Chain A
Amino acid sequence: MEYLQCFITGGIICTIGQILIDKTKITPARILTLFVVLGVILGFLGIYEPIYNFGKCGATVPISGFGYSLYKGTIKAIEERGFIGIFTGGVTATSGGIAAAICFGFISALVSKPTIK
């Protein structure tokens, strides 16, 4: 059941992205940014929390989950360290994701070559 919930949640988020690519003129880079910012805003409004509770990694793996982590990390850091937390919290909470992306990106670049479909 948990798997199905993840699948549905992730699927819906990605479908929204696909519709935006196909039906609007918004560029992929802007859609990406939009999803991150929406993750932050929905986190702040308390909407992303229940989505996360329902969909687990289906809500955290898409890029909107990154926005949600930025929000949560920032709030946590503000509670622990005060004002300075505004600047340190977001990146601290998402550091695992960022460093992994760079590492795996680097490794992939070493062993693979891009080509056309």
Chain B
Amino acid sequence: MKIGKQTFKLESMPYISYTSSIVGPKEVQGPLSSFFDTHINDVWDKEKTFEKCESKMLKTCISNLEKKANIKDDDIDIIFSGDLLNQCISSDFAIRNFNVPFLGLFGACSTFCEGLLLSSVMIESNLANTVICSASSHFCSAERQFRMPLEHGNQRSTTAQATVTGAGAALITKEKISSSNARITYVTPGKIQDLGVKDMANMGAAMAPAAFNTIAQHLTDTKRDIDYYDAIITGDLGEHGSKMLHDLFKLENIDISKKHIDCGCIIYDLKKQDVNCGGSGCGCIASVFSGYFFNELTAKNINKILLVATGALMSPISSGQGESIPSIAHAIAIENEV
């Protein structure tokens, strides 16, 4: 049911029953190391290309999810998956190994929440019972896609973020099939915001207004205030973008800084790991949610979260042609049933 301007209330409140996560060598040295299910030891993982490595990572991630949930391909109604590469090849090549209907997504770094949104809406509409949503990114394939091939060895600017090597997958079900009580209660798809930022090395600044817009609209639509949630989690605003988000809320006299956690800021040790402003990429929120936050929800350390994945919807071509960066953010309210 649509409430307010752009939020949908899900009467069926689909369960997030299981999640699976996998990260790369740098991420596993970060502070969240112990929460990830598995990791790869180097950026190649015995594959010939970075793209193959990313695909393999996603495939492993989804296979692990099936194992955890003890389900087979036939039990899954549909998979939503996406990544950052042209034509979503990481997902395409990973999911050809599964005998499951597949819909590929592109929402840049917002892909994971876009997937969660569509998965839960499939269940809400009674068309599906068991849906997988996944997303991946790989530092080296993303560098080739958006900047320069790694072989070029160019320097990164100080506002740039490092694409997370990792993938996350979640199993969304109509019925309660695990100990998890985490349910998706509201979804707010975002509107594109574009305030004219053109700097591809400063995507946090481009995406902060989108995050602000979606969070504020979600709170208005649901008539909730910021204190309702235990945490408001954004995907990859980074240090710079997070500060901008706090400032935008300050203008509305709301202090979001105590509730706000950015996955890009917590996946690495920003002081020690030389990642400039933090992590980014669809694998960032996908792996951090699937690894860390889902664990916190199951342990009931947190009970109500608003998961907001932000995406910078540009391509190297649009940026090369001088276009600004359109940005989007989708919000998913996840609440433990009490």
A109 to B165, CA, bound (A): 23
Contact for B43 among A25, A27, A116, CB less than 8 A: A116
Q: Considering only CB atoms, which chain B residue lies closest to A28 in the complex? A: B154
Main secondary structure of the interface of A (DSSP, over half): loop
Query: How far apart are B299's CB and chain A's nearest CB, in angstroms?
Result: 32
Query: Does B195 reach chain A (CB closer than 8 Å)?
Result: no
Q: Are A25 and B201 in contact (CB under 8 A)?
A: yes
Q: When each residue 125-161 of chain B gets 1 if its CB lies under 8 Å from chain A and 0 otherwise, what string results? A: 0000000000000011000000011110111011000
Contacts of B26 in A (CB 8 A): 116
Q: A25-B199, A25-B201 are in contact. Are A113 and B44 (CB under 8 A)?
A: yes
Q: Considering only CB atoms, which chain B residue lies closest to A108 in the complex? A: B151
**Interfacial residues of chain B within 179-200, with CB under 8 A of chain A in the complex:** 199-200
Q: When each residue 87-117 of chain A gets 1 if its CB lies under 8 Å from chain B and 0 otherwise, what string results? A: 0000000000000000000000100011111
A117 to B199, CA, bound (A): 24
Contacts of A117 in B (CB 8 A): 274
Query: How far apart are B161's CB and chain A's nearest CB, in angstroms?
Result: 14
A109 to B139, CA, bound (A): 20
Q: Are A115 and B42 in contact (CB under 8 A)?
A: yes
Q: Are A114 and B151 in contact (CB under 8 A)?
A: yes
Q: Are B25 and A116 in contact (CB under 8 A)?
A: yes
By CB atoms of chain B within 10 A, which of A21, A29, A109, A114 has the most? Answer: A114
Q: Are B140 and A22 in contact (CB under 8 A)?
A: no
Query: How far apart are A62's CB and chain B's nearest CB, in angstroms?
Result: 15
A114 to B44, CA, bound (A): 10
